[in-house]
Chain A
Amino acid sequence: MPKVSVEDLKAGMKLAKALSRGNMVLLGEGTVLTETWISRIGDMGVDAIFVDGPSEQPIPKEEAIRQLDLRFRNVLDKPYMERIKKMVQEHIERLYV
């Protein structure tokens, strides 16, 4: 779930976390944003909110996996490292769906 700054919010985006002030929930999780909500969020002085969907990744998936291979190249024979690498690889692949 990407954190999007108020300037970049667009109508139709869905809140991934409730937006609250103190103990009061202002907009619940799953709220679909409208232009009105977006301008009110801005008026409240909120900088950024979490919306649904995968975060935008700075590099393409193939490049991310290539760098992952490079990072692990010296330790794959060490205990647990292959398993850790597999978990990180699965995590990275989930970021690109």
Chain B
Amino acid sequence: MAEQRGQDVKEARAELAHLAGKYLTFKLADEEYGLEIIKVQEIIGLMPITKVPRVPVYLRGVINLRGRIIPTIDLRSKFGLEPVADTDKTCIIVVEVMSSKGKVNVGIIVDQVAEVMDVAANEIDHAPEFGTALRTDFILGVGIVKGGVKILLDIDKVLTSEEIAAVHSVAATPQPAPQPAVES
């Protein structure tokens, strides 16, 4: 029995082995998240963002990245976390994701960028299951590194699925559903 379980764990680990590698970690509210470094294009400081009308509220607007227009997402808002004022540590991580129209660059606004770290295969675990109330399919896994827990994000899924915020907010924080992009 115990042997069987050990086998399961091993298999599960093997499944996660491909996730081992370099991650860019950043802070959002009280948690730390990790992004596969291969997805990250660059990190830029906050710059003027042009609001776009009639889009979901988590889409903060578009920025001009050296002549290219890049939609920029407020990850706090996307995850249904409480909004905070931008600080001088707030920055934009430009990532490349696959959308229905091919590769797109998207900026994601995070509270603070932490570091680039190696996460070994044995440090990665499955995302915990919370049942239907909390979707976790945009989480690749959980890295337990240096005592801290990093949530490793599947950024493609984060940015392309619409419902994360709504579901998450219902499950986690008792917060009103996001309003349409009518500025307050």
Are A and B part of the same complex?
A: no
